[in-house]
């Protein structure tokens, strides 16, 4: 199997899964009563009403989309190393470290 096919399959199925999860969570949010999306500014609703199942699924779908991008970079690194492209593998790993550092910075601040 070629590098392009491996990457395409990983990105395709990862994106479909994360979009499905996000869409399902959004539908649950819209069907809930009262609608937490529209009541955030009116009442105290910390963390976008994370007590709602729909909000948790939506957040997980969005996190999964970010993880698919990180996984793509890790997969690129492995595939580049298997083809003796160490320079490109280092660039992919540096990008992974930058993404992880920015996520940790946001979580810890």
Return the number of other C-beta atoms located less than 10 Å from residue 20's C-beta.
13
> In terms of residue numbers, what domain contains 45?
3-108
The total number of structural domains that make up the chain: 1
**pLDDT for 4-17, tens place per residue?**
888 888 899 999 99
d(CA 37, CA 55): 9
Report the pLDDT averaged over residues 41-50.
55
Whole-model pTM above 0.85? no
**pLDDT for 49-67, tens place per residue?**
566 778 788 888 988 988 8
Identify the band that residue 106 occupies on the pLDDT scale cut at 50, 70 and 90. Answer: confident
Please name the residues in contact with 88: beta carbons below 8 A apart, sequence gap of 6 or more: 76, 80
């Amino acid at each position: 199997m070629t590098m392009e096919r491996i990457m395409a399959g990983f990105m395709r199925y990862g994106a479909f899964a994360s979009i499905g999860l996000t869409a399902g969570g959004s539908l649950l949010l819209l069907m809930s009563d009262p609608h937490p999306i529209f009541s955030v500014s009116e009442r105290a609703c910390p963390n976008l009403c994370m007590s709602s199942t729909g909000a948790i699924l939506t957040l997980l779908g969005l996190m999964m989309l970010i993880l698919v991008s990180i996984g793509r970079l890790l997969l690129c690194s492995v595939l580049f190393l298997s083809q003796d492209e160490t320079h490109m593998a280092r660039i992919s790993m540096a990008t992974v470290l930058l993404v992880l550092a920015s996520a940790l910075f946001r979580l810890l601040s």
